[in-house]
Chain A
Amino acid sequence: DAEITQSPRHKITETGRQVTLACHQTWNHNNMFWYRQDLGHGLRLIHYSYGVQDTNKGEVSDGYSVSRSNTEDLPLTLESAASSQTSVYFCASAGETGELFFGEGSRLTVL
């Protein structure tokens, strides 16, 4: 079965460190997204990609970057982690019908 996986599922890091969250999907979807979930804010879009070599900024992109070198992967990098980036991060992909298929989430704690 096709799926979307995130790693690591849990990570604790220190302020100022670079962190990369991996996202891998086997749906062969062109559209991939990163969201963060915080209490009271729901899911907010960080970055998204419509295909290889395409990346776009979302609503809360400051301090984050993504790259898309193949269809399957969209890693999310925090260049210099800040405490405000403590959150649960969800990766998702979407096919032509538009609904998002989400990974299981990555819980990041920045101390």
Chain B
Amino acid sequence: AQKVTQAQTEISVVEKEDVTLDCVYETRDTTYYLFWYKQPPSGELVFLIRRNSFDEQNEISGRYSWNFQKSTSSFNFTITASQVVDSAVYFCALREWSARQLTFGSGTQLTVLP
């Protein structure tokens, strides 16, 4: 069965520091999709990125970057030069090709201090 592990429950950094959120997944499928979602203090869930298992290229979007490594079953998320507005809970999720539902990790609470 599929599983997503976010071992970091809480992370606290000072503004402008870089921070990496770890995500490790388990699946028997060779085709799958990985996602990151952000949940700010207001509570809504915001989609950040989707990556399929055939595309191991790293992706960068502004201050956000994602490192997908199949060899270690990891899909880590880095925020460069963090800002207070980045404070949120971040969820990593997995969707196997044969399914349409996502399996979520337990989330990482990121606090960026001014």
Contact = CB atoms under 8 A, between A and B. Distances in A.
A96 B9 CA distance: 32
Contact of B100 (A31, A90, A102): A31
B33 A42 contact: no
Given A42-B105, A105-B43, A48 B35 contact: no
Main secondary structure of the interface of A (DSSP, over half): strand
For this complex, into which size category does the number of interface residues on chain A fall? 20 to 34
For this complex, into which size category does the number of interface residues on chain B fall? 20 to 34
A104 B100 contact: no
A82 to B, nearest CB: 22
Contacts of A58: 101
Contacts, number: 47
Main secondary structure of the interface of B (DSSP, over half): loop
A97 B91 contact: no
Contacts of A102: 44-45
Interface of B: 6, 9, 33, 35, 43-45, 47, 50, 91, 93, 95, 100-107
